[in-house]
Amino acid sequence: MAASALLLVSCGGDAEGEGDAAAEIDMEASGAGAMEDFAAGDTFVATEPVEFSLLYRDHPNYPIQDDWEFLNKLEEEHGVTLETSNAPLSDWAERRALVIGAGDAPDFIPITYPGDETQFIAGGALLPVSDYLDLMPNLTQKIEDWELEEDFASLYQEDGKFYVLPGLLEDPQHQYSFAVRGDIWDELGLEDPESFEEFADQLRQVQEAYPDMVPYSDRWSENGPLEATLNVVAPNFGTSAGWGYGDGMHYDAEADEFVYAGAMEEYRDLLAYFAGLVEEGLMDSESLTQDDDQAIQKFASGGSAVIGANDQELLTYRTSIEEVGDEDMEVRMIRVPGGPAGDMVDASRLESGMALSADVAEEEDFVALLQFLDWLYYSDEGMEFSKWGVEGETYTKSEDGSRTLAANIDMNGLNPEGEEQLNVDYGYHNGVFMLAHGSSTELVQSMLRDEVIEFRDSMDSKERLTPDPARPLDELERERASINQTQLTDQVRTATAQFILGQRDIEEWDAFVAELESSGMAEFVDLHNEAYQRAQETLDGDVVED
C-alpha cells in the first residue's frame, strides 16, 4: 500500500494519506519565496530572500565556518541563508533529542537515520513529510526512477505517514570491511579470504610468522562492542548486530515473522567466532575497550596486521604509518568474507536523512523550504553542487563528464598536493548537506579512488538482503515497547562483550536467553509481530490502482 501510494504521488496522482496536506496549502500564507511550477530539474532560486534554520552536526574534522563558500553561494545565487544551531559530534544524539523533545527544533534536522524519529512522533514535534511529497518533484522522481518504493515502505508509521526524508542511493554503496597489512599478506601469499574460517586461518599464519604481533586489533567500540565490524559481519551469519542491531528485531523470511536477534542461535555463532579469535590470541582483547586512536596506533606502529576500516579511514591509517611506522608497510581493504548463512550483505539504499519540525507548516516560506530541500538534497544539480562545489572554481569537468579538483584543493586523497580541503575550507562534501553522501552511482564514484571502486565492485558480488517488511507501532505500542527495548539492548550489548572476551562461557547461552525472557523479550517480539501482521492485513485488503 505504501509503495503504491508513493507511485501515485510520483505520477502526480493522489492516495489516501498522501499529498492531501500539500493540496490544501494556502500559497498566499505559505508561499513566500517559493517558485511557481517548480519541477524536477529546475534550479531553485527563491523569489525573495529566505532564511531557514537547521541543527548542524559539527564534525571535528571539518568544523563549521561562517564564511564557507558553500553557505555564501546559497545566499548569493539561491537567495537562501542558513542559520545553524551547532551541536558537536560527540553530543549529537543527545542534543537532537533535547531540542526536539523541548519543542525547540529548528526548521530541519539532517543526520537523522530512519528509526531515530519514532520516539518523537507521538508528541507531534515532527512534520509528517509524506503528506507533502508532491511539493518535492526531484525526490519523487528519484523514488520512481531508482525503484525505491519497497525501501520507502519501511518508513511508514502506524498512522500511514512517515516523518523522515532519507538520503537516497541509486545502488548500494559498501564502505566497511577489514584493512590488512598488504605487505604481510603478499609475503605470506595470502589473498582475500572467501570465508571467515579462511580469515581465521590467515590470522594464524600471521601469528606464526610474526609471534610478537597480535594479528587483529579492532576499533569502533566506544558505544558498544565492535559496532562497525559486527554490523558488516552479521548478515553472513544470518543475524543483525552492531550498528545494524536497531531495536533488535530481525525478520526471519522462512518463518515469515520477526525474531529477537540477540537470542538467535545465529547471534550465538557470531559471538562464538570472535570469542574463538580472542581465545587463540588471534584478536586483541582490548579491541572491545580501547579507543580508536589506540587501535590505529597499534596498527600503524606494526603492533597488529588487521583493523576495521572504511575507504576514508584507509587514508588515516596510511598517514599514521608515515608518522610512526615503517615506509615499507602497505595497507589495503579486503572483501568481507562469507559465513555460515552465505555470502551476504545488507544492501539498504536509504542513507541518513533529515526530519522537519512540525512548526514549519505554519511558516510563510514553508513551500520554499520544501523546494529548497528538494533541490539541494535530491536534484542532480544540487547533489553535484554540495559534493563538488562550483564548476570552474573548485573543480573542472571534461567532455566525458569526469571531474577534476582544482590544483589547490584535495579531498579523500584525490589531489594530495592540494593545500586546501574541499570540506574543511569550503564547506562542500559535508555529510550534513549531502545526507551522508546519498546520490547517483556516478556521482558517488566520481570522488572515489580506484581502489575504493574495486572494493565496492567486489562487494557487489555478494547476495543482497531485501529490506525488512514494515511493522509500524501505534503510540501505545511504542510506549509499551520502549519499556523493554532499552533493557534488552543493554543486556545484549553487555553479554556480547562478555561472551567475546571469554568472561562468560558460550555454553551459558541458554541461561542468557532465559535472562532476556525474564526482561520481557517474548512480549516485545509479540508486539512487533502483531504490528507486522496488521500491516500485512492492511496491504492485502487495500489495493490501490494508479
359, pLDDT greater than 90: yes
Ordered alpha helix ranges (H), 389-466: 422-426, 431-434, 441-445, 450-459
> Tens digits of per-residue pLDDT, 26-82?
777 788 999 999 999 999 999 999 999 999 999 998 999 999 999 999 999 999 999
Angle 366-378/380-388 helices, nearest 10 degrees?
Answer: 70
> Tens digits of per-residue pLDDT, 270-301?
999 999 999 999 999 999 999 999 999 999 99
Select 50-169+349-459's CATH number: 1.10.8.50, 3.40.190.10, 3.90.226.10, 3.30.450.20.
3.40.190.10
Q: How would residue 8 be classed by pLDDT, with cut points 50, 70 and 90?
A: very low
Top pLDDT among 523 and 25 is at 523
Radius of gyration of the chain, Cα coordinates, nearest whole angstrom: 24
| Mean pLDDT in residue range 210-232 | 95
Percent of the chain with pLDDT over 90: 75
Q: For position 541, what pLDDT does the model report?
A: 54
Q: For position 47, what pLDDT does the model report?
A: 97
Give the span between the Cα atoms of 346 and 507, in whole angstroms: 29
Give the span between the Cα atoms of 391 and 258, in whole angstroms: 49
> Tens digits of per-residue pLDDT, 139-164?
999 999 999 998 898 888 888 899 99
Which has the minimum average pLDDT: 104-108, 181-185, 411-415?
Answer: 411-415
Domain boundaries in the chain?
50-169+349-459, 176-345+473-539
Fold classification of 176-345+473-539 (topology level): D-Maltodextrin-Binding Protein; domain 2 (3.40.190)
The distance between the two most distant Cα atoms of the chain, rounded to a whole number of Å, is: 75
Q: For position 5, what pLDDT does the model report?
A: 52
Question: What does the block give as the cell for 114?
Answer: 530512519
**Residue 535 φ/ψ region, left for φ over 0, alpha for ψ in the -120 to 50 degree band, beta for the rest:** alpha
Q: For position 412, what pLDDT does the model report?
A: 82
Average pLDDT over all residues of the chain: 91
Q: For position 15, what pLDDT does the model report?
A: 41
> Tens digits of per-residue pLDDT, 407-461?
999 998 889 899 999 999 999 999 999 975 668 999 989 988 899 999 999 999 9
Give the span between the Cα atoms of 393 and 404, in whole angstroms: 11
| 50-169+349-459 shares its CATH topology with 176-345+473-539 | yes
Q: What is the DSSP annotation of 267-326?
A: HHHHHHHHHHHHHTTSB-GGGGTS-HHHHHHHHHTTSEEEEEEEHHHHHHHHHHHHHHS-
Q: How would residue 474 be classed by pLDDT, with cut points 50, 70 and 90?
A: confident
1, pLDDT greater than 70: no
Report the candidate in 167, 98, 159, 133 with the shortest Cα–Cα distance to residue 377. Answer: 167
Question: What does the block give as the cell for 383?
Answer: 547533489
Q: What is the DSSP annotation of 72-128?
A: HHHHHHH-EEEEEEEEEGGGHHHHHHHHHHTT---SEEEEE-TTTTHHHHTTT-B--
Q: For position 23, what pLDDT does the model report?
A: 60
Q: For position 546, what pLDDT does the model report?
A: 39
14, pLDDT greater than 90: no
Find the distance separating the first CA and the last CA of the chain, reported in whole Å: 11
Give the span between the Cα atoms of 86 and 539, in whole angstroms: 42
